[in-house]
Amino acid sequence: MDSLAFQIKSAALAVGYEKCGIIKIADMAGYEDKLNERMEYLPQTKPFYERFRGFAHLQDTYSWAKSVVVCVEQYGKYQMPDHLQGLVGKAYLFDSRIDEHTAGYQASLQFEAAMQKMGLKTEAKRKFGITAVRWAAVKAGLGIVRRNNFFYTESGSWVHLEAWLIDQELELIDTPTVKACSEHCNRCVKACPTASLAKPYTMNPLSCISFLTTFGGRDLPQETYNAQMGGWIYGCDACQDVCPMNKNRWEATGEFPFLAEISEHISLEKILSMDYELLQQILTAKFFYITKDDVWKWKVNVINAMVNEYQEKYKEAIYAACNNSHAKVRKMAEWAVKKLNLS
């Protein structure tokens, strides 16, 4: 093993990463075939996937880059507020990408500084990733991608991945010890509410609830899958929650910084009645896929969830939303009144 590669891995483990591997930059090239395969199977996803093509050609932008360092951070070790189960995806609740209070964010900074101290030039994109991290992690032998498309280590799928480019050609490949999916298991495909996971390893991102509750789903009254979105208001865990390979993989030993405080503000009724400034302050700082300018999207998602899981106590809140200051929210609330036959 190259001693610099070994030093990098030791530095990653020392700051708390579960795993670390290194692949040569040329190993990212195969990612393009995967992208092409996806776009051929689902041509409507072409505009979505096309923007990731650069992940396979990193040297076009970073001519100095020689290798990709990829690390795994386990997040399935924090206490989960019960009332957020089925409402907000766990990857977003325990997201350390932009929150400097979290151990994951600090680990990322420390690890990057350690690599630079070793004389390496580094580059990362902490928010959305500098390359295709699942592809890189599989190539580095850190785990496997299962039939639900999620990356798994021995900790299940409750892990975040992070990647850095470095200017030295190194390689550090692990051997995954996790068992492959049984050919007879189809639980994730069956559990997908929108059939976005149409068959094993094949997911249409445009109909995935994680997309529809964040970047997509901007006209929910007309959205084909609005009923199938159920009670989710940001993200979806259905295909991970049912997976037997995630059974007993959530350890819940620690508290995630400020999650208890933020989660007190998260309920369908509270979000629908919250003023926009507070919504921006509380939710946008953590759940950054919905930007400050688009916080109305939270209310629209909430009304959709109220319609799908209707209770009498939501009636007044839906009526009140018919007079909301944002036209998108008013339209959604009026749609809900008709859909539920409230008037």
Contact footprint for ligand SF4 (CB under 6 A): 146-148, 181, 185, 187-188, 191-194, 196-197, 203, 208-210, 236, 238-239, 242-245
Name the minimum Å distance from CB 185 to ligand SF4.
3
3-state class (DSSP) for residue 102: coil
Q: How far apart are CA 241 and CA 73, in angstroms?
A: 19
Q: Which residue number, 87 or 333, has a Cβ lying nearer to ligand SF4? A: 87
Name the minimum Å distance from CB 181 to ligand SF4.
3
Q: Which residue number, 42 or 203, has a Cβ lying nearer to ligand SF4? A: 203
Residue 138's closest CA among 153, 124, 148?
153
Name the minimum Å distance from CB 74 to ligand SF4.
18
The residues with which 20 forms a beta bridge, in sequence order, are: 71
Name the minimum Å distance from CB 212 to ligand SF4.
8
Q: Which residue number, 120 or 203, has a Cβ lying nearer to ligand SF4? A: 203
| Structure token digits, residue 15 | 């700051």
Name the minimum Å distance from CB 92 to ligand SF4.
12
Angle at 143 between CA 194 and CA 4, to 5 degrees: 140
Q: Which residue number, 13 or 145, has a Cβ lying nearer to ligand SF4? A: 145
CA distances from 331 to 64, 277, 301, 305 (A): 51, 21, 12, 15
Phi, psi of 199 (to 5 degrees): -155, 165
Name the minimum Å distance from CB 207 to ligand SF4.
7
Q: Find out whether 105 and 188 touch, Cβ atoms under 8 Å.
A: no
Q: Which residue number, 92 or 164, has a Cβ lying nearer to ligand SF4? A: 92
Name the minimum Å distance from CB 39 to ligand SF4.
18
Residue 331's closest CA among 216, 215, 217, 220?
220
Dump the DSSP string for 63-124.
TT--EEEEEEEE-TTBPPPGGGTTTB-HHHHT--SS-TTSHHHHHHHHHHHHHHHTT--EE-
| Structure token digits, residue 126 | 């902490």
Q: Where are the beta strands (DSSP E) in 189-268?
A: 197-199, 202-203
Q: Which residue number, 66 or 297, has a Cβ lying nearer to ligand SF4? A: 297
Q: Which residue number, 108 or 194, has a Cβ lying nearer to ligand SF4? A: 194
